[in-house]
Structure 1
Amino acid sequence: MELTAGRTVVPAREGRAVRVPAGRRVRVVDLEGGQVGDLFAFAADDPRERLSAMHTRSVTSRLFPAVGEAFVTDRRRPILALAGDGSPGSHDMLIAACDPARYAALGVPEHRSCARNLDEALAELGLDVTATPQPVNLFMRIPVEEQGRLRWLPAESRPGDSITFEAVMDCVVAVSACPQDQVGINGGEPTSLAIDVL
């Protein structure tokens, strides 16, 4: 999808990707509430360079950037800046994207996954990646307890809640409406998201 402005609906359990020029904003909207979205971003001129959660954590010294801070790539260059958060503010950069191996281990090997959704969304733009990068898990609640244990809680985003990024470089942004229904992060059946390029 070569869209550079307007709304792209990401149907439940699927993924979509859009091109976002530097300086433009991109907003991810939870249309019905309680839905996790896996966000990925790649440099437009070289998709081997991608948003890196671990590099971002090392730059910001946070588990998730604050408004005004940047997400950086695996080459430590800013790719997206967090421009605004109109949600309860729970997001995650620790948990890997769900993939076929995850669902095979849960006994549902034919289940859709965020890794597959990413591949399909990028293929629509004529792109591919050799490995699924760590996503930015929007609206996902994974609190870290005192002893370092992680808890998997349902997303608390409400219908219409959103998070907005500004592209620091020309990039491709992909979002998967996470199909996870084996662990209660979505709080029920997965639902749709929207990507608004502003």
Structure 2
Amino acid sequence: MKTSNLLPEQASARQVIDAGDYYIGKLLAGQTLRILDLEGNQAADTLFYSADDPSERYSAMDTIREQGNVYLTAGSVLRTNLNRPMLEITADTCGRHDTLGGACATESNTVRYSLEKRCMHACRDSWMLAVAEHPEYGIGKRDITHNINFFMNVPVTETGGLTFEDGISAPGKYVEMKALMDVVVLISNCPQLNNPCNGYDPTPVEILVWD
């Protein structure tokens, strides 16, 4: 884990994202983004795209292969599907972040929980709403691919399976990353009410940006 020396009062932008809400915006090369877990054990499902061409996007496969680790933390370099460096995690007080668990959707609600949970709000709904309300970013349904689950604890079992466990974050924990190219950031602050990792109580996160 690594702390940051950036001061919140010096941030050029700050915004609280309520549970179940989304954020979409541009981060310029050289700027630093912090995602702050305000109340603890909240999952921020995040996608990154090249601002110049959204068909170039964050790639879990390329990132995992190049760093030789399925988890993200300070020092991790997020890479695109063209294997170009996209962002570098420069500070992290949580410890690790999930690259494999994916985002909740109506389909996964059905499989993981029950048919009656199918229509409960999910992260993919938030992303689809974001791109529909902000066509200026040029992102569409086909661009919604694998994501990062910041603050989420998804251990890999000895047999290669995944389990969704209690969170390892806490109030005030954060992850911070520096943009290595101009990127579009798309976050769904997870609304999931059926996963015990957040105590069945989704909570807000805050984003901060420094120039």
TM-score (norm 2): 0.85
User: By how many angstroms is 1:144 displaced?
Assistant: 1.6
User: Aligned partners of 2:196, 2:206: CA distance in 1, in Å?
Assistant: 21
Equivalent pair of 2:193/2:201 in contact (CA under 8 Å) = yes
What is the Cα-based RMSD across aligned positions, in Å?
1.8
Match of 2:67 in 1: 60
User: Aligned partners of 1:118, 1:102: CA distance in 2, in Å?
Assistant: 15
Match of 1:17 in 2: 24
Match of 1:102 in 2: 108
User: Aligned partners of 1:151, 1:72: CA distance in 2, in Å?
Assistant: 25
Decide whether aligned partners of structure 1 residues 151 and 103 sit closer, same or farther in structure 2, where only a CA change above 3 A counts.
closer
User: By how many angstroms is 1:71 displaced?
Assistant: 0.5
User: Aligned partners of 2:172, 2:134: CA distance in 1, in Å?
Assistant: 27
The secondary structure found in structure 2 opposite 1:194 is strand
Structure with the bigger percentage of helix: 2
User: By how many angstroms is 1:156 displaced?
Assistant: 2.3
User: Aligned partners of 1:195, 1:66: CA distance in 2, in Å?
Assistant: 17
The secondary structure found in structure 2 opposite 1:50 is coil
User: Aligned partners of 2:200, 2:106: CA distance in 1, in Å?
Assistant: 20
Q: Gapped runs of 5+ residues in structure 2?
A: 1-10
Q: Gapped runs of 5+ residues in structure 1?
A: none
Equivalent pair of 1:25/1:165 in contact (CA under 8 Å) = yes
1:1-198 equivalences in 2 (<5 Å): 5-87=12-94, 89-105=95-111, 106-107=114-115, 108-126=117-135, 127=137, 128-129=139-140, 130-198=142-210
How many residues align? The count is 194
Sequence identity (%): 33
User: Aligned partners of 1:161, 1:57: CA distance in 2, in Å?
Assistant: 23
Decide whether aligned partners of structure 1 residues 102 and 149 sit closer, same or farther in structure 2, where only a CA change above 3 A counts.
closer
Equivalent pair of 2:192/2:200 in contact (CA under 8 Å) = no
User: Aligned partners of 2:145, 2:207: CA distance in 1, in Å?
Assistant: 20
- Alpha-carbon deviations, 1:93-148, whole Å to 9, x = none? 01121112222443223211111212222344323321421111111111122222
User: Aligned partners of 2:195, 2:160: CA distance in 1, in Å?
Assistant: 20
